[in-house]
Chain A
Amino acid sequence: MNAYWQCLRGIVLREWLRFVLQRTRFLSALVRPLLWLVVFAAGFRAALGISVIEPYDTYIPYEVYIIPGLACMILLFNGMQGSLAMVYDREMGSMRVLLTSPLPRTFLLCSKLLATALISLLQVYGFLAIAWVYGVQPPAMGLLLALPALLLVALMLSALGLLLSNGIRQLENFAGVMNFVIFPLFFLSSALYPLWKMRDASQWLYWLCAVNPFTHAVELVRFALYERLAGLALAICLGLTVLFTLLAVLTFNPQHAALRKPG
């Protein structure tokens, strides 16, 4: 058991070291949602009034509404960036070091997912701290209760990232992930606007948003931040995390990961 613990510790520590060494990665992870919060939200505040909806008890400014969506945006980009790192590791050969460990590959991959998720959480709380200073202040207990919700969402999106990376043969193909995964997941969700607004605009867009897993991720975090439990969102996120992880492990082909050119 100690061997497993040491291995998990080592993988998390490596992610942490890489994260610390790549300060620009941390900054860019913060700049993106902060731009949305400070610039985009300021512009939209006037245009988009938010009525009283769950889990909020009163009318809220738009900045308050988009905080959970932006927190999940960090997790989404990091999950996909994790998959980019997997493809990069594969091309640079460092994936081979991981795979020649005597511990089971399922454990190694799950450890990698957990490591990515934990690093993402640091960035989310960095963002929430700045948002707090900016004036968006969810209840302190909500910030604590959101931790397991954020961890679950981070794991779900990291598993999705790993699943996608299994299908990507080359680093250059990763741009497609941006266009076909990140943007649709983000914009067709409740991250930026409540679903009832979307229903007013278009019924079929509303349904797309309603079935989007990212919507449920955002709602799980939104409710947790305000000390409420979104049962359906929790069940969906749990189920999808297990499903994505299983599929990612099953479709992981060390042959793709190890050597791209037969010698």
Chain B
Amino acid sequence: MNALTVQDLSFAYGPCQALCEVGFSLAPGRFAALLGPNGAGKSTLIALLTRLYHLQRGEIHVGGHSLRDAPRAALKQLGVVFQQSTLDLELSVEQNLRYHAALHGLSRRHTDLRVEAELARQGLSERRREKVRALNGGHRRRVEIARALLHEPRLLLLDEASVGLDPASRLGLNQHVRQLCREHDLSVLWTTHLLDEVHADDALMILHQGRLVASGQVDALVQEHDGDLGRLFAGLTRPTATGAPA
């Protein structure tokens, strides 16, 4: 069963079409990169995947559960790190995690175990009592990942999670998430507009002006387009006079 299936997804802000008949699937334990220039529709897609926006047309299944018909079961399978930090800066690392655990209805005992495990996994055990405000950008992102994984989802969404980080933190975060993906059979959907965050064996979707213009494994797609991801991306996302994908 796929970790994520998106079928025929369309969404419009009034007369402005943000997504048009987008469809793809993500296998369990797979790292998938969703590439797209600014304004391609990535954040809209994330908002739909996380049920922050109501579905207008199309279907989303998370771990086999329909987001439309069984939202509770679907959201239980989903962990998310938003582009903009959603941590409470005034609360400590642990307080932020416990709040999230409560929102997912985890019992106190279960919360204790999960907070302990995720803090250790992210290397944050020593900093659990520090206010989030005192952490640097890279560590804040790690707290957000720990939080997203607290309820043991099968799918982790990261919406441009590396934005605002210095190059070393960006690389570290990318490697860390890949490690989680490998070691814990976690499916990851990583949205970005930075090509160096994509590896040859990743699944890749390229979104441009609300349409999915490429989908497949990176090395296979690259081979079809002169052996270079940059040229592939530039070619597929070139602005056109009509506004349609190139």
Contact = CB atoms under 8 A, between A and B. Distances in A.
A in complex with B: yes
Interface of A: 2-4, 6-7, 9-11, 13-14, 17-18, 21-22, 92-94, 96-104, 108, 254-255, 257-259, 261-263
Given A93-B84, A94-B88, A97-B100, A3 B52 contact: no
Contacts of A10: 98-99, 101-103
Contacts of B74: 102
- DSSP class of A's interface residues: helix, strand, loop or mixed? helix
Nearest to A2: B107
A18 B91 CA distance: 8
Contacts, number: 117
B52 A258 contact: yes
Contacts of B51: 99-100, 254
A54 B56 CA distance: 56
B105 A3 contact: yes
Contact of A103 (B16, B38, B82, B103): B103
Nearest to A100: B50
Given A7-B105, A258-B47, A96 B82 contact: yes
B113 to A, nearest CB: 14
Interface of B: 13, 16, 18, 38-44, 47, 50-54, 71-76, 78, 80, 82-88, 90-91, 95, 98-108, 111
Given A259-B52, A262-B44, A102 B95 contact: no
A6 B84 contact: no
A6 B85 contact: no
Given A18-B90, A254-B52, A258-B53, A101 B43 contact: no
A21 B52 contact: no
Nearest to A91: B84
28 contacts: A3-B104, A6-B111, A9-B102, A10-B99, A10-B101, A10-B103, A13-B102, A14-B88, A93-B86, A94-B86, A94-B87, A94-B88, A97-B100, A98-B103, A99-B51, A100-B50, A100-B51, A100-B75, A101-B103, A102-B75, A103-B72, A103-B103, A254-B53, A255-B53, A258-B47, A259-B44, A259-B53, A263-B41
A178 to B, nearest CB: 24
Nearest to A259: B47
